[in-house]
Chain A
Amino acid sequence: MSETPLRNNPVEHPASTPTRREVYEAGVRRRSNRIALISTVSVLLAIVVLVPLAPGWEAVQRAFFNGRVFAATFPGLLEAFFLNVMIFAWSAPLIAISGLAIALCRDTRAPALFPLRLFGIAYTDIFRGLPVVLVIYIVGFGIPGLGLPRPWNSPYIWGTLALVLVYSAYVAEVIRSGIDSIHQSQRSAAASLGLSDQDTMRFVVLPQAIRNVVPANMNLFIALQKDVALLSFIGPVEIFRQAGVYKSLYANFTPYVGAALIFLALTIPATRYADYLMNKQNRARS
């Protein structure tokens, strides 16, 4: 829509003069751009000028935006963030697989598989109802406490399991909603061709369902990226913990600001991308 005027490149179409409508729309666009610019600049100015006038600003600046502490701790934070990325990288596929498996459990209709269905329901109810930290504590300290030998008692293994347990419950629910969103007529069409229930699920329903829930799952995985930090409760020194260590060493909160920046550098693009996918899908549906 908005790119049409740009395409009317006068060099390419030397003969074409803009229509009355195009002239009008260009004027409107210029005016709204100008207003947007002015209001943005004045809000920013207000923040930059007014906030430092607050009586406690100097103390806040020293405690949260301390250049010296930032410079000293940022490289260490980046290094610790690598651990977050690693934990995320091995958790995410496990979550995707078990989330799908649980969604399928919940969708079984055969009476013989009723226990499976019951399991799926109980599983999603329980793990969506528990705070992640709690599961991390219970699984991360509890299971190794049963007397597993090293390296099988590693907090990385059990912490990862805790994340997988909780997040696959959410992913399962999202996938199930995707499965439910596929119209009955698709199943009818597959059945009328003589496809078995399993084939119908595998070739007709699931591919569409999963495609539909990609944006919703993207949001879950962005949340996961943040919740990886909770593994620090059972020992691993990832970025959040490292920032805490620096905070206590320097008696200064700037390392947290540094960690926040690192998180944002990753999650903002990911969130934008998820929104883009969501919008694209909504447009395609309408």
Chain B
Amino acid sequence: MKLISGTALALFFSTTSVLAAGDGTCAKGKTLTEGTLTIATGNPAYYPWVMNDAPESGEGFEAAVAYAIADKMGFSQDKVTWVRTSFDEAIQPGAKNFDINMQQYSITPEREEMVDFSLPYYTSAMAVLTTQNVVDSGAEATLDGLKALKWGAVATTTAIPMLSDVIQPSDAPLLYNDNADVNAAIMAGQIDAALYDLPTALYLSAVVVENGALLGQFPPGQSESPDQFGILMEDGKLLKECVDAAISELTESGELAAIEAQWLSKATGVPVIE
């Protein structure tokens, strides 16, 4: 008994102390290529998560967080390589071409059965993207008002359980492959509103969707299971400890908050849906 707890304690100390030192020994022997960290992002990667689809620049929220985490794990900027994957590639069984995968993956218990998620690096509000026309025709940011809308969403996002569990629209929602298709459906008047994480919704309404508007947001604090983004890793890989330690450190030091402040616009003025 004493022996076991002693070993556990020793193990605990060894990991934390190594990480705190930040000399990169935690990830030693655990990456695809020794000495480099391979990070996957989307294809393409979208604003504001990655600027100009160029994660190597470190610009954009996720790109910046990725380099910060890599740094904490002991990989300098030139020891980070980027690859692109789809969601399907990220979850398929077999050898992966990345060490960590970062593209606004929401952490859910169901997904955690299949893959490993890091601690959350961002907690997002869900927001309702719509057009000025819909707002002008009297759409209201109340649950009842939302139920009456014709809804759309990207099929691979956690917006769908939110739609079916919280909003429960009277018409079955229409689902799409990506943001561009949702946008096309809004343009064609086939849907009134779409559910997105707040940063994406802000970006789409400001830049992509003609006459776009945000009807309201569901702040993370209110929702029972807030939409939290985690870094995806192959299930059972030992890298999780290192990544988690790095994220904890960034959170505690306030670095993460600073990156967020730099890249994600403050969601001021978006009404809260009760």
| Interface positions of A (Cβ within 8 A of B) | 56, 59-60, 62-64, 141-142, 144-145, 147-150, 153-155, 232-237, 241, 244-245, 247-253
Contact = CB atoms under 8 A, between A and B. Distances in A.
Nearest to A249: B110
Contact of B188 (A60, A141, A250, A253): A141
B114 A241 contact: no
B187 interface: yes
A63 B172 contact: no
Nearest to A248: B156
B93 to A, nearest CB: 4
A126 B55 CA distance: 41
B91 A145 contact: no
B269 interface: no
B115 interface: yes
Given A234-B190, A244-B156, A252-B114, 8 more contacts: A145-B187, A145-B189, A148-B189, A155-B190, A234-B176, A237-B173, A245-B156, A251-B114
Interface string B135-176: 000000000000000101001111011000000000011111
The contact size tier of chain B is 20 to 34
B175 A237 contact: yes
Interface stretch (B27-35, B177-185, B198-206): B177-185
Interface of B: 87-88, 91-94, 108, 110-111, 113-115, 150, 152, 155-158, 160-161, 172-177, 181, 184-185, 187-191
B190 A144 contact: yes
A150 B185 CA distance: 12
A235 B185 CA distance: 8
Contact of A59 (B94, B110, B172, B181): B94
Q: Chain B binding site: helix, strand, loop or mixed by DSSP?
A: loop
B190 A252 contact: no
Contacts of B185: 141, 155, 234-235
Interface centre among A59, A147, A153, A253, by most B CB within 10 Å? A59
A74 to B, nearest CB: 15
B58 to A, nearest CB: 28
B34 to A, nearest CB: 22
B155 to A, nearest CB: 5
A245 to B, nearest CB: 5
B111 A250 contact: yes
